[in-house]
Amino acid sequence: MTQHDHLLDAYARLVVKTGLNIQKGQQLLVTAPLDAVPLVRRITEHAYRDGASLVTTIYSDNAATLARFAHAPEEAFDVAPGWLFNGMAEAFKAGAARLAIAGENPSLLAGQDPKKLARANKARSQAYRPALELITGFAINWCVAAAATPAWAKSVFPGVPEAAAMEQLWKAIFACTKADQPDPIAVWEKHNADLHRRTDFLNNRRYRALKYSGPGTDLMLGLADDHFWKGGGGKALNGVFCNANIPTEEVFTAPHKDRVDGTLSSTKPLSYQGSLIDGIRVRFEAGRIVEMTAEKGEEAFRSLIGTDEGAARLGEVALVPHSSPISASGIIFNNTLFDENAASHVAVGQSYTENIRDGSKRSKQELAALGANSSLVHVDWMIGSGKLDVDGILPDGTPEALMRKGEWAI
Shortest spacing between CB 57 and Zn ion, in angstroms: 24
- Spatial CA neighbour of 68 closest among 108, 33, 127: 108
Shortest spacing between CB 373 and Zn ion, in angstroms: 12
Binding site for Zn ion (CB under 5 A): 250, 252, 316, 318, 340, 347, 380
Q: How far is CA 281 from CA 294, 377, 382, in A?
A: 6, 19, 11
State the pairing for strand pair 209-214/389-393: antiparallel
Shortest spacing between CB 145 and Zn ion, in angstroms: 15
Shortest spacing between CB 252 and Zn ion, in angstroms: 5
Q: How far, in Å, CA of 66 to CA of 239, rounded?
A: 40
Nearer to Zn ion, 127 or 383 (CB): 383
Q: How far, in Å, CA of 160 to CA of 163, rounded?
A: 8
DSSP H or E stretch at residue 62: helix 62-71
| C-alpha dihedral (228, 266, 330, 320), degrees to nearest 10 | -10
Shortest spacing between CB 379 and Zn ion, in angstroms: 8
Nearer to Zn ion, 135 or 300 (CB): 135
Nearer to Zn ion, 23 or 350 (CB): 350
| Burial degree of 205 (CB within 10 A; 0-12, 13-18, 19+) | middle
Shortest spacing between CB 136 and Zn ion, in angstroms: 9
Question: What interhelical angle do 114-136 and 298-305 show, nearest 10?
Answer: 50
Cα–Cα–Cα angle for 171, 175, 176, nearest 5°? Answer: 115
Shortest spacing between CB 1 and Zn ion, in angstroms: 34
| Burial degree of 249 (CB within 10 A; 0-12, 13-18, 19+) | buried
Nearer to Zn ion, 62 or 353 (CB): 353
Nearer to Zn ion, 249 or 278 (CB): 249
Shortest spacing between CB 349 and Zn ion, in angstroms: 9
Nearer to Zn ion, 12 or 270 (CB): 270
Nearer to Zn ion, 52 or 388 (CB): 388
Nearer to Zn ion, 103 or 315 (CB): 315
| Burial degree of 283 (CB within 10 A; 0-12, 13-18, 19+) | middle
| C-alpha dihedral (45, 51, 56, 60), degrees to nearest 10 | -50
